[in-house]
A and B are shown apart, each in its own frame.
Chain A
Amino acid sequence: MRFKRLLNKDIVAGIALIVFSLWVIWEAREFAAAAARFRGISPALFPTILAVGIILLACVMIVRGLRKGRDWQFTFDFHHPNAAIALGLVAGTALYALVLEFLGFLLTTTLYTLVFILWMKGARTLRALIIACATVGAIYVVFHTLMFVPFPKGEIFSLLLGE
């Protein structure tokens, strides 16, 4: 019963913030030591002040949470109909970042857009492919051709062409 009372958003956030701030203070000690041979205001001073400030405010949150009692449920609802899409967005984006340089911008981005539209049942395959190609083409023209943003061509093509 007492544990259940602790399941309050403010208490959970407060404890997490205190742990984070203690880590900040610990890290700050290390770079304070690295700068100790120089004269001047320590680079650890400002982060330490901020961390102490967060600890004080986190204590306020915890006290507030103790007064309120239990109000927290798990943040992520695994039974939500779109939970798989949300997890797919996170995982797909991480995968996109990993394969971007290997497969190249055009192929990776077109595949990402196509799969995402199909998964969200936004359009049928052919229409989704047309939307994906048009979008990626427009992005390529604006960012690469007009704004000179260098997009990766893809190492796979260099390997296939034997360059």
Chain B
Amino acid sequence: MDVIWSASLQVFQPHMILIILLGNFIGVVIGALPGITGSMAIAILLPLTFSMSAAEGLMLLLGIYPGGIFGGSIAAILMNLPGDPPAVMTTLDGYPMAQKGEAGRAIGIATTASLLGSLFGILVLIVIAPTLAKFALKFGPPEYFMLCVFGLSSIAAVATRDLTTGFIACMIGLLFGEVGMDPVFSVQRFTFGQVNLQSGLPFGPLIIGLFGLAELLRQILGPLEQLQLRVQQIRKVFPSRKDLKTCMPAILRGSIIGTVIGALPGAGATIASIISYNVAAGTDRNPERFGTGVIEGIAAPESANNASVGGALIPLLTLGIPGSTITAILIGAFMVHDIYPGPLLFRDHLGLVYVIFIGLIVASFGFALFGFLSARFAPLVLKAPPAIVTPLIAVFCLVGAYASNGNPWDIGLAIFFGVFAYIIGEFGIPTPPIILGYVLGPLVETNFRSSLQLSQGSLMIFLTRPICLVSLILTIVILLYPIWKSRLHEGILSDRGSLDKL
């Protein structure tokens, strides 16, 4: 109890609160900017923390981390431009809400869901971190592979209108993830001899092209009234009691999914947000509503991706295993101060552990503050005439594409993918599964090959391990569910037809 009290006193000092809020602000702004990721911001600001105490430095970085994850949702809602991969799922319902003039309400829901998800993840981190860390260690390459297969199958089955085109989009995305130097044999794959493609297709230009520029083309070439001024209702930024009641099941499920998936090294916020969205859509009475601008479609992925922050810190703090780029950089921040995360951290630096826990809670309220402020003011951007906003979004896309690597080639790639996404969209092939396939591609392939290496080429490895088997059964269920549902729907319609005839 004394440790908690002294940690609270340390965190609630004015300068510590200011550091956390500064981290939150940087995180939210950077998360909202396409082309700059939270990990990039933490890497850039890491040297600043060298002159600070361990607690101050960690508070700054831990303020950026959840702030950055949440910030991605703002651009996703306002411009259909996810600032980071976990925000891709938020575009599905967030952007349609903004188009209906409900951008403020959408950001308000995203903020609330992120706050509750984040608090849930931290609570689990405090209470059952060691137990969950042991479970996470049971995941080997076959388990990771099957988890990714489940995630991708569920997005193809639930988040898209058509299973065939959804799967095609996933596979195209997985192929995009194959571009570059093979990690095992150092053989170039699909690079056309281009040096710029040797390290793979860059994420920034790909996401900006597929989402930002393609959407701009759709708007410009769409019905002319689409380019008219959209009236934005931004008086209410806090969710109403009714909205909260509607979203609460999705938030709760998303928080649990986010924390568990976040605790798996290498899985993280993106898979968590996909699975959470798909579970929310799959368990809804009318899943067809999802993708048209429903609040549960924002609450589910947002609660999951922010709950994954607490989850990701579980293996980091308890076992010293960084499961993502951000936690890998965070481990560096610990080591600079001669502190090594792992079981000994709880014995030797218990005070610091509680400072982190309490600091994370403060950081959650901090990013929520900026979230509600942005819900009030950010939609004002959409109040400007589209003839001005459209060019500014285009410039924003170009700068974002360039900023990720500082290479004009990336701007060319962004426009190529923009035109590509526009064309395939006309053929009914959705873009979100492409980007998710691309993000998960290297993880899927590496674990597939490692599994086959372990089993000496036998595919039975995916059937003989309990976690794999559970994932496989869930995948089959989620794939058969839409077919079963459409048959049921057809059955009901034909029954109604017979009744009408009678």
Which chain A residues have a beta carbon within 8 Å of chain B's beta carbons? 9-10, 12-13, 17, 24, 27-28, 31, 34-35, 38, 40-41, 43, 45-47, 50-51, 53-54, 57-58, 60-61, 64, 75-77, 80-83, 85-86, 89-90, 93-94, 96-98, 100-101, 109, 112-113, 116-117, 120-123, 131, 135-136, 139, 142-143, 147-152
A contact residues around B418 at 8 Å (CB): 90
Beta-carbon contact of B175 and A47 below 8 Å: yes
Whose C-beta in chain A lies nearest to the C-beta of B427? A13
Beta-carbon contact of A50 and B188 below 8 Å: no
Beta-carbon contact of A109 and B167 below 8 Å: no
Beta-carbon contact of B391 and A120 below 8 Å: yes
The 6 nearest A-B residue pairs measured at CB? A122-B387, A116-B391, A97-B411, A122-B388, A43-B182, A13-B427
B396 contacts the other chain (CB 8 A): yes
Beta-carbon contact of A31 and B189 below 8 Å: yes
A43 to B173, alpha carbons, bound, how many Å? 17
Beta-carbon contact of A120 and B387 below 8 Å: yes
Whose C-beta in chain B lies nearest to the C-beta of A52? B171
Beta-carbon contact of A82 and B187 below 8 Å: no
User: What are 24 inter-chain pairs, A to B, with CB distance below 8 A?
Assistant: A13-B424, A24-B190, A46-B174, A47-B175, A50-B171, A50-B174, A50-B178, A53-B167, A54-B172, A60-B164, A82-B227, A89-B213, A90-B217, A96-B411, A112-B394, A112-B398, A116-B390, A120-B390, A120-B391, A122-B387, A131-B392, A143-B403, A147-B41, A149-B406
Q: Identify the interface centre among A40, A43, A57, A123: most chain B CB within 10 Å of its CB.
A: A43
Beta-carbon contact of A57 and B415 below 8 Å: no
Whose C-beta in chain B lies nearest to the C-beta of A118? B391
A contact residues around B392 at 8 Å (CB): 113, 131, 135
A149 to B385, alpha carbons, bound, how many Å? 30
Q: Identify the interface centre among A51, A97, A136, A148: most chain B CB within 10 Å of its CB.
A: A97
Contact of A139 among B168, B396, B412 (CB under 8 A): B396
A24 to B448, alpha carbons, bound, how many Å? 19
B224 contacts the other chain (CB 8 A): yes
A45 to B445, alpha carbons, bound, how many Å? 10
B220 contacts the other chain (CB 8 A): yes
Beta-carbon contact of B427 and A12 below 8 Å: yes
A101 to B221, alpha carbons, bound, how many Å? 31
B337 contacts the other chain (CB 8 A): no
Given contacts A40-B453, A122-B388, contact A57 B167 (CB under 8 A): yes
Whose C-beta in chain B lies nearest to the C-beta of A27? B190
B428 contacts the other chain (CB 8 A): yes
Contact of B391 among A53, A61, A97, A113 (CB under 8 A): A113
B402 contacts the other chain (CB 8 A): yes
User: Shortest Cβ distance from A44 into chain B, in angstroms?
Assistant: 8
Contact of A93 among B36, B178, B398 (CB under 8 A): B398
A27 to B178, alpha carbons, bound, how many Å? 12
User: Shortest Cβ distance from B209 into chain A, in angstroms?
Assistant: 10
Contact of B217 among A27, A89, A148 (CB under 8 A): A89
Given contacts A147-B41, A148-B44, contact A54 B408 (CB under 8 A): no
Contact of A46 among B36, B402, B423, B445 (CB under 8 A): B445
Given contacts A40-B185, A75-B423, A149-B403, contact A121 B387 (CB under 8 A): yes
Given contacts A43-B182, A98-B408, A150-B406, contact A117 B387 (CB under 8 A): yes
Residue pairs across A and B with CB atoms within 8 Å: the count is: 171
Whose C-beta in chain B lies nearest to the C-beta of A84? B220
B contact residues around A58 at 8 Å (CB): 168
A64 to B163, alpha carbons, bound, how many Å? 13
User: Shortest Cβ distance from A148 into chain B, in angstroms?
Assistant: 6
B477 contacts the other chain (CB 8 A): no
Given contacts A47-B178, A113-B392, A135-B395, contact A93 B415 (CB under 8 A): yes
User: Shortest Cβ distance from B27 into chain A, in angstroms?
Assistant: 13
User: Shortest Cβ distance from B4 into chain A, in angstroms?
Assistant: 36
Beta-carbon contact of B406 and A147 below 8 Å: no
Given contacts A46-B178, A77-B221, contact A100 B411 (CB under 8 A): yes
B contact residues around A31 at 8 Å (CB): 182, 187-189
B46 contacts the other chain (CB 8 A): no
B399 contacts the other chain (CB 8 A): yes
B429 contacts the other chain (CB 8 A): yes
B50 contacts the other chain (CB 8 A): no
Beta-carbon contact of B187 and A43 below 8 Å: yes
B461 contacts the other chain (CB 8 A): no
B409 contacts the other chain (CB 8 A): yes
Beta-carbon contact of A117 and B224 below 8 Å: no
B54 contacts the other chain (CB 8 A): no
B419 contacts the other chain (CB 8 A): yes
Beta-carbon contact of A64 and B164 below 8 Å: yes
A contact residues around B444 at 8 Å (CB): 46
A27 to B190, alpha carbons, bound, how many Å? 7
Whose C-beta in chain A lies nearest to the C-beta of B188? A31
Beta-carbon contact of A41 and B187 below 8 Å: no
Q: Which of B18-35 contact A (CB under 8 A)?
A: 29-30, 33
Beta-carbon contact of B449 and A46 below 8 Å: yes
A49 to B202, alpha carbons, bound, how many Å? 23
Using an 8 Å CB-CB cutoff, how does the interface string of B156-181 with A read, 1 for contact, 0 for none?
A: 00000000110110011011001000
Beta-carbon contact of A35 and B164 below 8 Å: no
Q: Identify the interface centre among A81, A100, A149: most chain B CB within 10 Å of its CB.
A: A149
Q: List 20 extra interface pairs beyond A34-B187, A89-B220, A147-B44, CB under 8 A.
A: A10-B428, A27-B189, A40-B185, A43-B184, A45-B449, A46-B174, A46-B449, A54-B171, A61-B168, A85-B220, A93-B411, A93-B415, A113-B391, A120-B387, A131-B388, A131-B392, A135-B395, A139-B396, A151-B402, A152-B408
Beta-carbon contact of A57 and B168 below 8 Å: yes
A86 to B401, alpha carbons, bound, how many Å? 19
A149 to B44, alpha carbons, bound, how many Å? 10
B2 contacts the other chain (CB 8 A): no
Q: Which of B181-213 contact A (CB under 8 A)?
A: 182, 184-185, 187-190, 213
B contact residues around A51 at 8 Å (CB): 175
